[in-house]
Amino acid sequence: MKKKDLVKETAFRNMGVFFWLLLVVLALYTISMVLPMIWGIITSVKSQNEFRTNVLGIPHGAPWEWKWSNFIYVLNNFYVPISSTTAGLRAVGMGEMLLYTLLYAAGGAFINTLVPCVVAYITAKFNYKFSAVIYTVVVVTMVLPVVGNTASEMQLVKILGLYDTIPGNWIQKFNFLGMYYLVFYATFKGIPNDFAEAAYVDGAGETHVMIRIIFPLVANIFLTVMLIKFITFWNDYQTPLLFLPTHPTIAYGVYYLSNSMQQEFNNVPMRLTGCILMVIPILALFLVFKEKLMANISMGGVKE
C-alpha cells in the first residue's frame, strides 16, 4: 500500500472514532435534557402523598386515573398577591398573568427586533463615519461586560414616569445593541444594490425603498429573530419582578410559586404543574415554527 493511501486510511479511521465519540457525547447531552422534562411531567400528575413514596416512578394506575386535576387547580386557584398605591392589595390570577405575559413578550419582542433591524439597515447602506461608530459601539458593548446598571436604570425609568407600566417597559426595549444587530447588518450588506437602484429610478424615496423593497427580503430573518426574542421574554421573570411589580407575568408567577408558602401549593407536584403550564404554550409555538427556527434561511437575489 502506498504511503499516501495509508495516510488517507488512517485519517478516515480517526475521523470515524471522532464521529462516534461526538455522537455518544451528543446523545448523553440530549438524554440529560430530556429526562428532567419527562420526570417533571410525570411528577406534575402525582399527588403529594404518592410523590413521597414514588419519587422517580410513573404514577400508579391508568393514565386517566392520574392527578390531571392538578392543572385545573393551579389554573383556577393560583394567584400572585400584589399591592399598589391606587388599588391596594389584590390577587392576580393566571388569566391576568397570561395577558400581561402576551403584552410584555409580544410587544417587547417586536420592538427589540424592529429597532436593531432599522439601525442595521441605515448603518449598512449609508457609509457615513457615524455608521462605523455605531457598529464599533455594538461590538465593544458585546465584548465588555456591563454590570451594575440596574439600579441606575430603575432610577431613570422612575424619573421619566415609565416605571411599572407596559408601554414604559416597551420603551426600555428600544435599543439596538446585541448580536442580532450584527445579524441584520450582515444580511443587509449581502443584499445587492440593484433592488434599491431600480426603485430609485421609478422615483421611490429612501423610506419607501426600506419598507417596501428591502424589508420584505429579510422578512424570514425578522420573524425568526422576533420568535427567539418572544421565547426569551416569555421565560423572563427578573424584568417583570423589578420593573413591573403590579403586572406579574406567568414566568414571575412560576417564580413566586416556587417560593410560595401557601399550603396547597407548597409541594413539588404543584410547583412542577405550574412549570409545565408555562412551558406548554412555548412548546406549541416551537412545534408550529420549528422549521423556520431550524432551517437555513436563504434569500433570493438578482440574476446576473
- 145 φ, ψ (degrees, to nearest 5): -70, 130
Architecture of the 73-302 domain: Orthogonal Bundle (1.10)
Mean pLDDT across the chain: 82
* Dist CA 46 CA 34 (whole Å): 19
pLDDT of residue 105: 93
Amino acid identity at 245: P
More reliable by pLDDT, 262 or 126: 126
- How many residues in the chain? 304
Cα R_g (the chain), whole angstroms: 26
Q: Is-contact 246 84, C-beta < 8 A? A: yes
The percentage of residues in the chain with a pLDDT greater than 70, rounded to a whole number, is 88
User: Helix or strand or coil: residue 230?
Assistant: helix
Supply the pTM of this predicted model: 0.81
Residue-wise pLDDT for 61-91, tens only, equals 887 778 888 888 888 888 888 887 776 788 8
DSSP code at position 55:
S
pLDDT greater than 60 at residue 187: yes
Please state which of the ranges 59-68, 201-210, 263-272 shows the lowest mean pLDDT.
201-210
3-class SS shares of the chain: helix, strand, coil, % to 5: 70, 5, 25
- Angle CA 155–225–32, to nearest 5: 95
* Segments of the chain assigned E as strands: 79-84, 88-93
pLDDT of residue 301: 40
* Dist CA 297 CA 300 (whole Å): 10
Q: Which three cell numbers stand for residue 161?
A: 414616569
Mean pLDDT of the 225-242 span: 90
- 82 φ, ψ (degrees, to nearest 5): -130, 155
More reliable by pLDDT, 278 or 143: 278
Q: Is-contact 215 222, C-beta < 8 A? A: yes
Q: Which three cell numbers stand for residue 136?
A: 464599533
User: Helix or strand or coil: residue 186?
Assistant: helix
pLDDT greater than 60 at residue 39: yes
User: Helix or strand or coil: residue 275?
Assistant: helix
The confidence band for 119, taking pLDDT boundaries of 50, 70 and 90, is very high
Mean pLDDT of the 105-113 span: 93
pLDDT greater than 80 at residue 18: no
pLDDT of residue 9: 58
The structural domains of the chain, with segments of one domain joined by +, span: 3-67, 73-302
Number of neighbours of residue 25 by Cβ within 10 angstroms: 10
pLDDT greater than 80 at residue 149: no
Residue-wise pLDDT for 89-105, tens only, equals 888 888 889 999 999 99
The confidence band for 298, taking pLDDT boundaries of 50, 70 and 90, is very low
